[in-house]
Amino acid sequence: MNSRDDPNLLYNRFPCLNSLDGLFSDREADRFEVLDTLLELLVRDSGAERGTIFLVDRESHEIFSAATRGRELEGLSLPMGKGVAGRTARTGEITILDNAYSSPHFDPQIDELTGYKTENLLTAPVGRNPVMAVIQLLNKPGGFAKNDADFVGIVADRLSEFLQS
């Protein structure tokens, strides 16, 4: 049994899971405010230094940052498939990298623009067929583990429902 099969393990480890119903229940709330609050909770509970929620624009074949924590670039857009987040948007696969710079999918260009150094990261798709968004968390001390991916996966599933409503 993994932690996704036993939600109580995750709900104890990641308190923000208990806040999701309230966060997603207000259908009149501004979606970008909800994304911003959600990302704040994700970064806090995961122990990551930074994070971004990218929305997918199917018409332009790009992803753009809709919410950021600790990032100097607001409104960042990337082609689908570029970088780890763009690849996640294209493939729908969760990615955990212990050493970002060792991956051929990592694009160091954003680090160069911001002066920030990405050590490790986790990306998760929001929605499947099609992917509607990507959650990306950066630099957790000690790196990301499977339970972090399970946690972000649950949040991504709930966010998918919210974005479809």
Q: 47-96, pLDDT tens digit by residue? A: 999 999 999 999 999 999 999 887 566 778 889 999 999 999 999 999 99
The tokens for 75 are 């409104």
Domains of the chain are 7-164 (3.30.450.40)
Mean pLDDT of 4-25: 68
Backbone φ and ψ of 151, nearest 5°: -60, -50
Instruction: Name the most confidently modeled range: 10-19, 30-39, 124-133, 156-165.
Output: 124-133
Angle of helix 31-46 versus helix 146-164 axis, rounded to 10: 170
> Residue 154: which of 135, 130, 138, 139 has the closest Cα?
135
| pLDDT score at 76 | 84
The mean of the pLDDT values for the chain is 87
